Structure 1
Amino acid sequence: MKTIKLLPVLAFFILASCSSVRVNSDYDKKVNFENYKTYAFLKSGVDKVEISDLDKKRILRSIDDVMATKGFTKDSNPDLLISIFTKEKERVDVYNSFGFGWGWNPWWGMNYTNVSTTPEGVLFIDLIDSKTKELVWQGEGSGYLTKDTHKKDERIYTFVSKILEQYPPNKK
């Protein structure tokens, strides 16, 4: 009976882990991030990204929205240059289960193995000091991708906002 009650909870955690964006960031500890107030996109970096132009637009719009909420303004003479980089890979999940019944092993049970694959994307957002041309902060987010055009805007905004939640870094 306990197994039946645990199944919905387990299913919830599996679905929640699939829908979340895992983030990480790194930064130059010698940089004073309070000096940065304006930004622009590094065209040469954005142009190299091998995704559709529509998805590039979605990412750049999302970055604009999140940076605005953080008090940054877009400027032709910026403090920061923003570049992006993407990767895609297949996430493979293997689930093993055991059930009692007739089977061909010595324990008279059956083992079931289910394998599922999900396309997973990684988005890197690089913040570069425009004067020194040095990378000062990098954020990375990874999670499932969607091909549903109605959900792409929301999913990409989730990626960008979760990554940029870590900017500016909390220095300790």
Structure 2
Amino acid sequence: MKALRLLPLLGAVLLLASCSTVRVASDYDKETNFSEYKTFAFYKPGIDKAEISDLDKKRVLRAIESEMMAKGFTKSENPTVLVSIFTKAKERIDVYQNNFGFRGGWGGFWGPWGGPWGWNGGFNNNTVARSTQGTLYIDLIDANKNQLIWQGQGTAPLVTGDVDKREERINLIVQEILGVYPPQVAGN
């Protein structure tokens, strides 16, 4: 019986653990020699179009600047790479079905309480969780050719409320996205 009481707690722990991950993907131009890029600047027209609050834009740009500098880039007025962002958001609904039960017990073939073996007892404990999934795209554009050379995206549940947790979450998302840059290309 104690095990049955722990199941909802275990489910909640698994749900929270699954919400903390960032799903990352990237794409790039195979013809690009990424070792040539050493300086960057933000591409203001692209960033202005991002559909997030100005405060979150500042958080994202600070996180990107920090990660780019950690990768050896220098912020410049004459950059080799322009950095742009855009975002998407959608509501996610997860339904978790915890149907614990058994067929067995009393009565004849169909028994007085139904089912081929008797009482159909147990728990029907469904849980519905709603969250907003946000996707951040980071584009790296060759400044001289004005061509997209790399795009990373990270999708994760958004954090609302606590400013510190929100900033920590944005930092993590940016870190995960830029963690796959530069791509592992043979010869570079």
Report the TM-score when normalising by structure 2.
0.82
Amino acid at match of 2:48: D
Q: Aligned partners of 1:67 and 1:138: how far apart in 2?
A: 14
Equivalent residue number for residue 118 of structure 1: 131
In the TM superposition, residue 166 of structure 1 has moved relative to its aligned partner by: 0.3
Q: Aligned partners of 2:36 and 2:170: how far apart in 1?
A: 28
Equivalent residue number for residue 174 of structure 2: 160
Q: Which has the larger radius of gyration?
A: 2
Q: Aligned partners of 2:36 and 2:114: how far apart in 1?
A: 67
Measured against aligned partners, the alpha-carbon deviations of 1:89-142 in whole angstroms (never above 9, x if no partner) come to 1111110011338xx985344433211101111000000001111110000001
Report the TM-score when normalising by structure 1.
0.89
In the TM superposition, residue 81 of structure 1 has moved relative to its aligned partner by: 0.5
* Count of aligned pairs: 170
Equivalent residue number for residue 144 of structure 1: 157
In the TM superposition, residue 171 of structure 1 has moved relative to its aligned partner by: 1.6
SS at match of 2:72: coil
Q: Aligned partners of 2:128 and 2:168: how far apart in 1?
A: 28
Q: Aligned partners of 2:72 and 2:165: how far apart in 1?
A: 27
SS at match of 1:137: strand
Q: Aligned partners of 2:163 and 2:23: how far apart in 1?
A: 22
Percent identity, aligned pairs only? 52
Measured against aligned partners, the alpha-carbon deviations of 1:20-48 in whole angstroms (never above 9, x if no partner) come to 11101010111000000000000000011
Higher mean C-alpha deviation, range 144-153 or range 75-84 = 144-153
Structure 1: runs of 5+ lacking an equivalent: none
